[in-house]
Amino acid sequence: MEDKTMLITEKSEKNDWLYVAGIPHKTLIQEAAPIKYITWTVTGITFIIGLVIALFFAYRNSRPINNVIKTLKEYADPDAKNDYDFLHGNISKLISRNKDLQMQLTEQKPLLKDAFLKQLLAGEITERNSDLHEFANQANVNLSCDHGYVSILKIEGYEDMSSSEIYQELNAIRLVIQQESMKIIDNFYVTTIHSDKLVYLFLDQEDDKILKEEIEKMFSSLQNLFQDEYRILLKVGTGHPFRSLSDISRSYNEAKHAMDYASFSNEKQGLYWYDDVMKEATVFHYPLEYEFRLLKSLKEGERLEAERIVYELLEENVGNRSLSADMHEQFINELKGTFYKALDQYVFRNDQIAETLRQKLRAISFDEGMQRMERRLIEVLQLYCEFVNKNRRQSNHSIVNAIKDYVHEHFSCTDLTIYMIAEHLSRPEKYISQIFKEETGEYLYEYLEKIRMEEAMTKLTNSSKTINDIAEQVGYNSAHSFRRAFKRIHNMTPNQFRKTSE
């Protein structure tokens, strides 16, 4: 209607009357206003709640990124316009540096392999090393076989020459030798000891005779090829076969002796086997490498390794060589001299056990026969190693006690680390961790956590302090980390423990 009155009509089906109702515009607006206000209120509240929830999730999801950015800014210059540009730039740098590092590691692998083989040949790494196979895998060396030979190949005619051109020529010759060797046999590793010498390490589970024939075939083919094609002469010395990884160093030393014999031979080239060469030997066998290894084993208290070295020397000089009585006596005196050198350690000076061992060494006489002398030497060896190990245990025990005392005094320090303990004791971190694990059977960080938990349980039981205060007093950075550690160890929260102990 003209006055904005709203008309509502309804026709009756019973009497055909038309019912008309009029609602003024003002009345209609007044009645609808509450609905409008309610709608706007609900919409506004919903919007605000949604905004708060969105902000909460945005903060929670962005917090890790912000932490990463904050950490990166501590170690890098924040020169980007915004945080995401800064993050993108640093991640790109990390990826680039990682690729460079991977390339450097790839380039270092041949050097790592060469260093590992040299340590294996020198006897510095043996089966006694628990990480032997892990080191071998890192160096890409397969040690699944423990039988084989060690051979040394020498390029003749370059002994007294030294110039850059000669070194380049020798490098080329060695490379060709390795390539030609791989065409004949592939179950070996090779390293360089001098510019004109290559060391071959043959590893195989085949019968020694079969492998020996393959080695002879390979070196004969190489000698013929290089003599005919390049007019280069090659000499090869090979040791007695080894039947364990610990014997590799022994076979290597035998190969060196065979090569020394070959160097004085009038033949232009040839393959010299240690077993054949030593039949003509008239002097005892006790190289410096063996003495160094024996001294090292004695000083470290490694009885089994020291016994193995002594038995090898006795077998070689008594069983394999036809030495005169004077040479046998000289060999025993040299062996006794090594024990005297070992006794000169500071732990044996002015000690009663040192005098006892010296008397036993002086009592060893060549007149009593080799078997009795052997028993006396082994007895001295065992007593020596027992004393070293006993002294080490006492030293380790005192170090562990010092570690425990320091932990008990400073466990409440939130910054307490293994580095701080190692610095206090003036020892390397790795040494501290290893000694503690060997002596107690648990890791140092486990012991620290145990001490903190014991103190926390005492405070929860005997005091009414808050969880935050207790967490701070026992060395945790926050109550959250304390609760998490407590529940992981005790399968209950600190509050639950406090209630059960009441």
Q: 180: domain CATH number?
A: 3.30.70.270
247 within domain boundaries = yes
Q: Are residues 454 and 472 both part of a single domain? A: yes
Q: Are residues 359 and 459 both part of a single domain? A: no
Q: How far, in Å, CA of 499 to CA of 460, rounded?
A: 9
Q: Are residues 262 and 341 both part of a single domain? A: no
Which conformational region is residue 427 in: left (phi greater than 0), alpha (psi within -120 to 50 degrees), or beta?
Answer: beta
pLDDT at 381: 94
Nearest-Å Rg of the Cα atoms of the chain is 41
Q: Are residues 181 and 256 both part of a single domain? A: yes
123 within domain boundaries = no
Q: For residue 464, how far is the Cα from the chain centroid?
A: 47
Q: Are residues 339 and 419 both part of a single domain? A: no
Beta bridge partners of 191: 199
Q: 478: domain CATH number?
A: 1.10.10.60
265 within domain boundaries = yes
120 within domain boundaries = no
Contact 259, 152 (CB under 8 A): yes
74 within domain boundaries = no
pLDDT in tens, the chain (502 residues): 556 677 777 777 777 777 777 777 777 777 777 888 888 899 999 999 999 998 888 888 877 777 777 766 666 665 656 766 777 777 788 888 888 888 887 778 888 899 999 999 988 887 777 678 888 888 889 888 888 999 999 998 887 777 888 888 999 999 999 999 999 888 899 999 888 999 999 998 767 788 899 999 999 999 999 999 989 999 999 998 998 888 898 899 889 988 888 887 778 788 999 888 776 667 888 888 889 889 989 988 999 989 999 998 998 888 877 777 888 889 999 999 999 999 887 566 657 888 888 899 998 887 788 888 889 999 999 999 998 898 888 889 999 999 999 999 999 998 888 889 999 998 898 889 989 998 899 999 999 999 999 999 999 988 888 998 999 999 998 888 898 899 988 888 898 888 887 6
pLDDT at 107: 79
Contact 143, 136 (CB under 8 A): yes
Q: For residue 1, how far is the Cα from the chain centroid?
A: 95
Q: Are residues 361 and 466 both part of a single domain? A: no
Cβ contacts of residue 126 below 8 Å, gap of 6+?
132, 245, 246, 249, 305
DSSP state of 240: P
pLDDT at 62: 77
Q: Are residues 426 and 302 both part of a single domain? A: no
Beta bridge partners of 201: 150, 189
Site of tokens 């083919």: 221
**41 is in which domain, residue-wise?**
6-61
Q: Are residues 166 and 211 both part of a single domain? A: yes
Of 359, 392, 425, at which residue does a domain stop? 392
pLDDT at 81: 64
491 within domain boundaries = yes
Q: How far, in Å, CA of 15 to CA of 21, rounded?
A: 18
484 within domain boundaries = yes
SS3 label, residue 54: helix
The amino acid sitting at 191 is T
Q: Phi/psi of residue 238, each to 5°?
A: -130, 135
User: What angle is formed at CA 290 by the lines to CA 152 and CA 342, rounded to 5 degrees?
Assistant: 160
pLDDT at 279: 65
Q: How far, in Å, CA of 357 to CA of 380, rounded?
A: 6
Q: Flag whether the pTM goes above 0.75.
A: no
The amino acid sitting at 214 is E
DSSP for 163-205 reads SHHHHHHHHHHHHHHHHHHHHH--SEEEEEEETTEEEEEEE-S
Angle of helix 418-425 relative to helix 444-462, nearest 10 degrees, comes to: 110
Q: Are residues 260 and 310 both part of a single domain? A: no
Q: Are residues 272 and 160 both part of a single domain? A: yes
Of 225, 257, 280, at which residue does a domain stop? 280
Q: Are residues 383 and 427 both part of a single domain? A: no
Q: Phi/psi of residue 20, each to 5°?
A: -125, 130
Of 255, 280, 305, at which residue does a domain stop? 280
Q: Are residues 235 and 180 both part of a single domain? A: yes
Count of structural domains, the chain: 4
SS3 label, residue 161: coil
Burial of 394: CB neighbours in 10 Å, binned 0-12, 13-18, 19+: exposed
126 within domain boundaries = no
DSSP for 79-117 reads -SSSHHHHHHHHHHHHHHHHHHHHHHHHHHHHHHHHHHH
